[in-house]
């Protein structure tokens, strides 16, 4: 299982617009991905309600995981998106 631990780069955390950006990227990743806050229970990263329900604040650690083939590249892209707190989806996601 591939895993990436990253701190949330959005000052407001994974709420509203940042969560929407992340969920769209996770949905487009091509592999199933879960996200968890710290060592908490993982949720579907492609679910807006599940991601909002994490309550992840800026600077808190989240864990991205996937057991699918080819997950490493997808998790790298998602981890970069979260860590940098991008305001828009990069072209490569």
Ordered DSSP codes for the chain: -EEEEEE--STT-S-HHHHHHHHHHHHTTSS--EEEETTS--EETT-HHHHHHH-PPTT-EEEEEE-STTHHHHHHHHHHHHHHT-SS--TT-
What amino acid positions are annotated as catalytic residues? 15
Which structure tokens are listed for 68? 């699918």
């Amino acid at each position: 299982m591939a895993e990436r631990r990253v701190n949330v780069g959005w000052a407001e955390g994974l709420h509203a617009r940042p969560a929407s950006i992340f969920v769209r990227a996770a949905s487009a990743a091509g592999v199933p991905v879960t996200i968890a806050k710290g060592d908490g229970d993982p949720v579907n990263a492609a679910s807006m309600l599940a991601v909002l329900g994490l309550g992840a604040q800026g600077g808190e650690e989240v864990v991205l995981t996937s057991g699918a083939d080819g997950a490493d590249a997808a998790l790298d892209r998602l981890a970069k998106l979260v860590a940098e707190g991008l305001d828009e989806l990069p072209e490569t996601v």
